[in-house]
Amino acid sequence: MRHLEQLPPWAAVVIALLVVTGASLTVLGGLGLVRLKSFYQRLHAPTLGYSYGTLLIVLASMLMFTLLEGRVVVHEVMIGIFIMATTPITLLMLGRAALRRDRDAKLGHDEAVPPRIPREDRPAEPRGQTGHGEGLEDAGLLPDAEREERERADQARD
């Protein structure tokens, strides 16, 4: 703990603020992970820790070791860049896996999962470039009133 006394007072206060804010945001993310109701909501909660928690604690660590060693210490940036690059990939893959599993399981959900369109109901010609652009209208899932209104609008436009 001797090294803490070598820091100038302003740096100690700044580092303390950064560390306390980062750790508090991480705990809030953990609380969200426990308290939110459905998986798709829970997917968002820990990103507080992933983004702000990592950013603030990495900044505090960089500032502290830069002042302690009297030279610029920036290797903590590697962690920051790595986390910023990988978190969207992992959470995207996890969310897609969960969506696929939910559609397969046909469980009751507290949140609407977009329906899977059966193969025979899909349009023969793929729409758009990927072929994944089928909307509710193509699947015949829109309520009749809404579809008629849309057709009327289309005719008026023609």
Tell me which stretch binds another protein (CB under 8 A): 42-50, 121-129, 141-149, 150-158. 42-50
Number of neighbouring beta carbons within 10 Å of residue 140: 10
> How wide is the angle at C-alpha 40 spanned by C-alphas 112 and 55, nearest 5°?
150
d(CA 147, CA 95): 31
Residue 13 contacts another protein per CB under 8 A = yes
Residue 67 contacts another protein per CB under 8 A = no
Name the nearest CA neighbour of 69 among 2, 1, 19, 3: 3
Residues between 83 and 142 that touch another protein (CB under 8 A): 83, 86, 89-90, 93-94, 96-98, 100-101
Tell me which stretch binds another protein (CB under 8 A): 48-56, 110-118, 134-142, 145-153. 48-56
Which stretches of the chain bind another protein, using CB under 8 A? 1-5, 7-10, 12-13, 15-17, 19-20, 22-24, 26-27, 29-31, 33-34, 39, 42-43, 46, 49-50, 53-54, 57-58, 60-61, 64-65, 68, 73, 75-76, 78-79, 82-83, 86, 89-90, 93-94, 96-98, 100-101
